[in-house]
Amino acid sequence: MPLVRRILIAGALMLAPALAAGQAKKLSVPYVLDTLPNGLTLIVHEDHSTPVVTTNVWFHVGSGDEKPGRTGFAHLFEHLMFMGSQHAEYPQFDRLLEAAGADNNGSTTEDRTNYYENGPNSSLPLMLWLEADRLGWLLPTMDKPKVDLQRDVVKNERRQSYENRPYGIVADFEPKLMYPASHPYSWPVIGSMVDLSAASVDDVKDFFRRYYAPNNATLVVAGDVRAAEVKALVRAYFSEIPRGPKIDRPSPTPFTVRDTALTLEDRVQLPQLYLEWHTVKGWHADDAALDIAASVLAGSRTARLTQSLVYSGELATSTVYARQDGKRLDGDFTIVAQARAGKGLDTLRAVIDAELTRLAADGPTARELEQAKNVIEAGFLRRIEGVAGKADQLNEYFYQTGRPDSFQADLDRYRRVTATDVQRVVRTYLQAARVMISVVPQGKQELAAKKGVAQ
């Protein structure tokens, strides 16, 4: 038996008596919080188990902070941030980190843009210096050739992920069908080709001045470090960078989704069905129950939709997916199923509706509820088993709740969900008006699902 598995089994056996006696320790990730005079928030987590370190910066800006006609800037900047700064010209950012044994990357969502570096603890001063230089001294190097180059890179990424990817065209239609035009989630994160083409160097610089400022960022440093030493390094590198303007966040107004059916033809072999409902934002009282409903429906091989569509009915391929996406401002629930050759999407829709009706009427069984909670908790623990996962989660919790160490609170909200809660959220949200998108092979409109709402 592998050593890691023996350790896990031994740990579980040691933990079992404590759990039975109600003595299980609370999950906690200790941290030190510091705020610089310019508004930069620093969170430090010490973990001396291995000599590695992670830096994780969240800028509190995503596609949801953009404006119609100027979409795609948040993601474009994720690329521009790697194009060199005044004291680390391109491609020194990557080369210096690679020479130190470190790696780096970034990502963009509707709500935030993050950048991270992972490497040996000896590389921390380099990581922080590079992050500070591109935050404080990027604009002097920003010019039209750089913007044009990365604009073309993003356009090509858009072609690969949307226009030329099977079923990718759905991402252009989902946001505007799910959210009204005034809502900050009503366009895709990557933006539109038209808006990307229209972006000028001055537009890009204005976006940077507004959102890429210390008072709109949180820096997490986690790993084999000492908090006092990290604080001294961060103050030395970042203190000169001036505070940015006060940012007013968008405040979406309440809205109702219209029951909508759309059929798209694509260069695909098999039809695929998308069902979406407007739900709740992350950490709403119903968010956890909706996550568990998604797991009951499609979170495992024994889940209801997986069994009824893939195994018992042999109507769908293994592509059956359900997800509650509770974002910072709003949320939506999605079910995706791909039909087998010769099967139409309306048959899949009818089975999905029947399963939703059954779940709304009876709720999950005790076994289903326990399994869903175990699946979610296991996934959660896997995400935070290393310092990189802890760092990103500390940043997420701070942005969502204002409390970096919300690990136990996060687990507890899932553990508190009852079968009645799941039954209620299915009735409330998943038996309401929805958006239904059928993607069918070209010339095969007859394979599309018919408009209908689960009752």
Report which of 33, 32, 62 is spatially closest to residue 329, judged by C-alpha positions: 62
Q: What is the DSSP letter of 24?
A: P
> What string of DSSP letters covers 38-102?
TS-EEEEEE--SSSEEEEEEEES--GGGSBTTBTTHHHHHHHHTTSEETTEETTHHHHHHHHTT-
Domain 260-447 falls in which CATH fold?
A: Cytochrome Bc1 Complex; Chain A, domain 1 (3.30.830)
**What is the rounded CA–CA span in Å between residue 319 and residue 358?**
22
- Residue given tokens 């919790």 in the structure block: 397
Q: Do the domains at 32-238 and 260-447 have one common CATH topology?
A: yes
CA–CA distance, 326 with 287 (Å, rounded to integer): 7
Q: Which of 398, 406, 408, 410 is nearest to 58 (CA)?
A: 398
C-alpha triplet 273, 279, 282: angle, nearest 5°: 115
- Tens digit of pLDDT per residue, the chain (455 long)? 444 444 343 344 334 433 344 456 899 999 999 999 999 999 999 999 999 999 999 999 999 999 888 999 999 999 999 999 999 999 999 999 999 999 999 999 999 999 999 999 999 999 999 999 999 999 999 999 999 999 999 999 999 998 899 999 999 999 999 999 999 999 999 999 999 999 899 999 999 999 999 999 999 999 999 999 999 999 999 999 999 999 988 788 999 999 999 999 999 999 999 999 999 999 999 999 999 999 999 999 999 999 999 999 999 998 899 999 999 999 999 999 999 999 999 999 999 999 999 999 999 999 999 999 999 999 999 999 999 999 999 999 999 999 999 999 999 999 999 999 999 999 999 999 999 999 999 999 999 999 755 44
391: buried, middle or exposed (CB in 10 Å: 19+, 13-18, 0-12)?
buried
Compute the distance between CA of residue 87 and CA of residue 137 in angstroms, rounded to an integer.
Answer: 8
Report the alpha-carbon distance of residue 143 to residue 121 in Å, rounded.
34
Place of tokens 């970034």: 106
Q: Which fold has domain 32-238?
A: Cytochrome Bc1 Complex; Chain A, domain 1 (3.30.830)
Cβ(454)–Cβ(431) under 8 Å? yes
The pLDDT of residue 18: 37
State both tokens at 16. 């079992």
Query: Which pLDDT score, from 0 to 100, does residue 452 have?
Result: 57
Cα distances (Å, whole numbers) of residue 18 to 11, 26, 251, 378, 382:
11, 12, 46, 19, 22
Predicted pLDDT of residue 11: 42
* Tokens linked to 72: 């795609």
Phi and psi torsions of 419, nearest 5°: -60, -35
Domain borders along the chain are 32-238, 260-447
